[in-house]
Chains A and B, each alone.
Chain A
Amino acid sequence: MKPRRRQGKGSKVDLPAFRSVSIHRNISEALPAFLKKEGLNDSATLEALASLVALLSNYREEGLRLFPEVFIFDDVASILKTLPNSERVIIGLGPRKAETFGLALKRCAPLAQWGWSIYILRMAAKFEYGLLRCGLTALSLTASELLIGHGDRSLPTLLIRHTSHHTIQVSGAGGNSLKIHFGPTEQPGEDPLRVAEGFCKSIVADVPEILQEQVGNFYWRVFSGVLRSGHGCLAIVLKSAKRTLPPQFRDGVIITPALDIAARVESLLKGNNCESDTRLRATAALIRGMLSTDGVTVFRADGSVRAYNVFVRSPETPKASSAFGGARRRAFKALCSWVGRDILSAFFLSQDGHAEFRGNKS
Chain B
Amino acid sequence: MSSNITLWEGSGLARVPASATTPEDILPHANPRQLSGRDRTQIIYAFNNHSYEMASNFIWNKAISSLKAQLSTLGTAFIAEMLDRPDIPAEASLAQVLTDYDALRLARELGAVSSTGYLRLKQAFDRIVHFGQLVPEEADEVEMSVDEAVGVVRACVETILGQNKIDVAVDFKEFRDNLESSVFDKDAPEITRLDDSPYFFKRASVRILLALIKSNRGAQLENALGNANLIFPLIWAELLPPERFQIGRAYSEIVADGKTQAASGVKKILLKVKGFDYVPEDLRSRSFLVAAQKVIEAHEGMNNFYNEPGPTKALAEMSSTIPRPAFPLCMTAALSIRLGNAWGICYDAQSYANSILKRVTPERWLFYIDNCLRADERILEKLIDTKPFVRWAGLISDFDLVTVAEDAKDRDVKLLVQESRDSTKPARAQQILSRLLKRMGFAIEK
A residues with CB within 8 A of B: 78, 81-82, 84-86, 135-137, 139-141, 145-146, 149-150, 152, 154-155, 209-210, 213-214, 217-218, 269-270, 272
Contact = CB atoms under 8 A, between A and B. Distances in A.
A155 B256 CA distance: 21
Contacts of A154: 271
Contact of B257 (A82, A146, A214): A214
Contacts of A270: 89-91
Given A84-B280, A146-B263, A140 B258 contact: yes
A58 B263 CA distance: 34
B260 A145 contact: yes
A213 B276 contact: no
Contacts of A82: 267, 270-271, 276, 279
Interface string B330-356: 000000000000000000000000000
Interface of B: 89-91, 217, 251-252, 255-261, 263-264, 267-268, 270-271, 276-277, 279-283
A86 B276 CA distance: 13
A173 to B, nearest CB: 11
A140 B256 contact: yes
Nearest to A218: B258
5 nearest CB pairs, A to B: A81-B276, A150-B264, A139-B258, A84-B252, A214-B258
Nearest to A215: B258
B268 A152 contact: yes
Nearest to A138: B258
Contacts of A209: 217
Contacts of A78: 276
Contacts of B89: 270
B259 A213 contact: yes
Contacts of B277: 81
A352 B89 CA distance: 47
Contacts of B281: 84-86
Nearest to A137: B256
Contact of B256 (A139, A145, A149, A217): A139
Nearest to B218: A209
Which of A140, A155, A214 has the most chain B CB atoms inside 10 A of its CB? A140
Contacts of A146: 255, 263, 267
A361 B331 CA distance: 52
Contacts of B251: 84
Given A152-B271, A154-B271, A209-B217, A84 B256 contact: yes
A85 B283 contact: yes
27 contacts: A81-B277, A82-B267, A82-B270, A82-B271, A82-B276, A84-B252, A84-B279, A84-B280, A85-B256, A85-B281, A85-B282, A86-B281, A139-B256, A139-B258, A140-B255, A140-B257, A140-B258, A141-B263, A146-B263, A149-B264, A150-B260, A150-B263, A150-B267, A213-B258, A214-B257, A214-B259, A270-B91
A218 B258 CA distance: 9
Contact of A85 (B252, B258, B260, B271): B252
Contacts of A135: 255-256
Contacts of A214: 257-259
Nearest to A77: B276
B258 A141 contact: yes
Contacts of B257: 139-140, 214, 269
B323 to A, nearest CB: 13
B337 to A, nearest CB: 29
Contacts of B276: 78, 81-82
Contacts of A213: 217, 258-261
Contacts of B268: 152
A214 B267 CA distance: 18
B91 A81 contact: no
Given A140-B256, A213-B260, 4 more contacts: A85-B282, A139-B257, A150-B260, A214-B258
Nearest to B263: A141
Contact of A136 (B90, B261, B270, B283): B283
A99 B411 CA distance: 59
Contacts of B258: 139-141, 213-214, 217-218
A117 to B, nearest CB: 16
B279 A81 contact: yes
Nearest to A272: B256
B90 A217 contact: no
A46 B313 CA distance: 58
A138 to B, nearest CB: 9
A292 B352 CA distance: 58
B267 A152 contact: yes
A75 B257 CA distance: 26
Contacts of B280: 84
A31 B384 CA distance: 67
